[in-house]
Structure 1
Amino acid sequence: MDMKEVVYVVSDSVGETAEFVVKAVATQFNGGQVDIRRNSYVEDEEDIEDVILVAKQGRSIIAYTIVVPALKAYLDKRAQEEGIYAVDLLNPLMNAFEKKFNKEPNHRPGMMRKLDDEYFRKIEAIEFAVKYDDGRDPRGILRADIVLVGVSRTSKTPLSMYLAHKRYKVANVPIVPEVKPPDELFQIPRSKCVGLIISPDKLNEIRTERLKALGLGARANYASYERILEELDYAEKIMKRVGCPVINVSNKAIEETAGLILDILKSERSFG
């Protein structure tokens, strides 16, 4: 495709869904070399006229997701008048829903915008979890919705990512006897923090398997009972000092522990 060929993505929301569809189609034509220009939050006829003005200057297509009938009709009318090919990415499927399920669409652009907002909040939360994983930057503790603390191999990272997908910003802090906990940990409300504990037997099993996977000796101090008991004892003291609720993750799936964390935080904030 010539780079002068343009697809104008027009939406009464962010327009990311429409752009994704256009890119998916474009990949079927010489590797997707098409100029995509997004026009988000189109709200009135004037916004549509702005797109029509530039689209009619060259070879172009308008691909749109507009749910307000009057606005859609205006775009269709003006595109036809100017000889511009305009493709409605939503209406065929909305019609199918309406006919097959016998339901009326809301025709509210805010519904689409809400989905976009939720998507971006999830992405932001995932990026937050990565940035503040394993105590990399203690400043994240003060910004987090949830702070997880625990010794190594108590599922802090997978829990952080799971909760991030539910749009919670999570920082996690490893508790190690040789390392002083960050001051920020004692500056946050207890309602934001959850301690993760585990039985010595289960932790020994997990750490031994971890060492094997890394090709290291199973007798390394990391997996020894003496070391594990020392770490768990130290972690318990830190959690008591913070005053945070504690969950035993010994035989729990990530989903179960995450549910308990959210229940605890909801309860703490209700009565805190």
Structure 2
Amino acid sequence: MSGDRAKLHLHLVSDSTGETLESIAKAGLARFEGVEAIKHFWPMVRSEGHLDRVIEEITRKPGLIIYTLVDGGVRERLEQRCTSLGLPIVSPLDPTIGALSELLGQVATRRPGRQHVMDAAYFQRVDAINYTMVHDDGAGHDDWEEADIVLAGVSRTSKTPTSIYLANRGYKTANIPIVPQSPPPGLLFGLKSPLVVGLTTAPDRLVAIRRNRLLTLGQAPDTDYVDLGGIESELAYARRLFADHDIPVIDVTRRSIEETAAAIINLVQARADRASDTKAAAIGSDPN
């Protein structure tokens, strides 16, 4: 390949929605610099006739084929055609499924899209999303006790996008802005069920984010909202608040939303593990 950026056609062929393949492709591409990946999505491919139409398009724009196909006939046809065309083809889930099958002593199911069935986890995720949407920016604080997580932080510390991401992982998440002129309700510090997490960031980074936000809204970018001294005071106030109430803090300065959410989920799990260990210890020490 020539030029400053390598161009790659990436064909994602799935008998389901293709979400798994998209995540795998994204993770793989992140390891390479200077690549212009043109992704072609081919979801719900469950018949040989449908596959033949997909292969026609792949032939016009050859590249790497990544696939997840359960049906043996469709899968074999794709593999044979790609081999005859000299195109690279990968089934990324095969090693994992093979290892699980061996360890569990079971043959993997051949039902396409089984991970997307409307089971209890699905409805839990929908419930979490609904809860999170109506508990954004300090709203609905009367029932924060029903949340799994409550995020707190000054304006533009990624509270809302992180909340939405966590909701998609099945966690009911509320969030509240920390404003020195309007302290949060006292009930925030007395919550028993949800884990309260503080989000913070570097002052200069926050100045840039807020200034871009004002420009996007067509507002003057030079206000107290983006004053460095004022922002430093806001962040200091929030840090004192978190320290006074023993609230764990995550610095989002160099973290993506996914990385911040992963750190929060780790805190939730660690808290659950501690509670489980305490309960087990109490049961073990009970003479009855």
TM-score, length-scaled by structure 1 = 0.58
Alignment of 1:227-238 (within 5 A): 227-238=230-241
Indicate which of 130, 142, 145 corresponds to 1:142. 145
Q: Is the 2:150–2:194 Cα contact (8 Å) retained in structure 1?
A: no
Change over 3 Å in CA distance of 1:229–1:98 after alignment to 2:
same
Aligned residue number for residue 51 of structure 1? none
* Correspondence list, 1:99-110, <5 A: 103=107, 105=109
Q: In the TM superposition, what is the alpha-carbon distance from 1:180 to its structure 2 partner? A: 2.2
Answering whether residue 246 of structure 2 is matched by residue 243 of structure 1, we say yes
Q: Offset at 1:116?
A: 2.5
Structure 1 residue aligned with 2:271: 268
Q: Whole-Å Cα distance in 2 between the matches of residues 203 and 213 of structure 1?
A: 15
Stretches of structure 2 that go unaligned for 5 or more consecutive residues are 1-68, 77-97, 99-106, 276-288
Q: Deviations over 1:16-57 (max 9, x none)?
A: xxxxxxxxxxxxxxxxxxxxxxxxxxxxxxxxxxxxxxxxxx
C-alpha contact (below 8 Å) 2:71/2:110 kept by paired residues: no
Instruction: Say whether the 8 Å CA contact 1:191–1:244 is kept in structure 2.
Output: no
1:242, CA displacement in angstroms?
2.4
- Partner of 1:270: helix, strand, or coil? helix
Which residue of the partner structure matches residue 53 of structure 2?
A: none
- Classify the secondary structure of the residue corresponding to 1:173: strand
Q: Quick one: percent identity of the two aligned structures?
A: 38
Q: Which has the higher mean CA deviation after the structures are superposed, 260-269 or 111-120? A: 111-120
For structure 1, which segment, 258-267 or 145-154, has the greater mean C-alpha deviation from structure 2 after superposition? 258-267
Q: Is the 8 A contact 2:147 2:193 kept in 1?
A: no
The size of the alignment, in residue pairs, is: 177
CA radius of gyration, larger in: 1
CA RMSD of aligned residues (A): 2.8
Counterparts of residues 119-268 of structure 1 (less than 5 Å):
119-189=122-192, 192-268=195-271
Paired amino acid for 1:146: I
Q: Which residue of 1 aligns with 2:91?
A: none
Q: 2:71 aligns with which of 96, 108, 113?
A: 96
Residues 145 and 193, structure 2, Cα contact 8 Å, conserved in 1: no
TM-score (norm 2): 0.55
AA partner of residue 233 (structure 1): A
Q: Distance in 2 between matches of 1:95 and 1:190?
A: 42
Displacement of 1:95 in angstroms is: 8.7
Secondary structure (helix, strand or coil) at the match of 2:152 reads strand
CA-to-aligned-CA distance 1:170-214 (integer Å, 9 cap, x gap): 010110011121122111149711110101010001001111111
In structure 1, distance between residues paired with 2:143 and 2:201: 25
Secondary structure of 2:137 counterpart: helix
- What are the ranges of 5 or more consecutive residues in structure 1 without an aligned counterpart? 1-93
- Residue deviations 1:111-139, cap 9 Å, x none? 88974222211111111111100101212
Separation (CA, whole Å) in 2 of partners of 1:97 and 1:214: 53
Contact 1:197/1:250, CA 8 A, preserved across alignment: yes
CA distance in 1, matches of 2:236, 2:186: 20
- Supply the AA of the counterpart residue of 1:180: P
Residues 61-95 of structure 1 deviation map (CA, whole Å, 9 limit, x = unaligned): xxxxxxxxxxxxxxxxxxxxxxxxxxxxxxxxx99
Partner of residue 8, structure 1: none
Q: Residues 213 and 100 (structure 1 numbering): CA distance in 2 closer, same or farther, change over 3 Å? A: closer
Q: In 1, are the aligned partners of 2:154 and 2:235 still within 8 Å (CA)?
A: yes
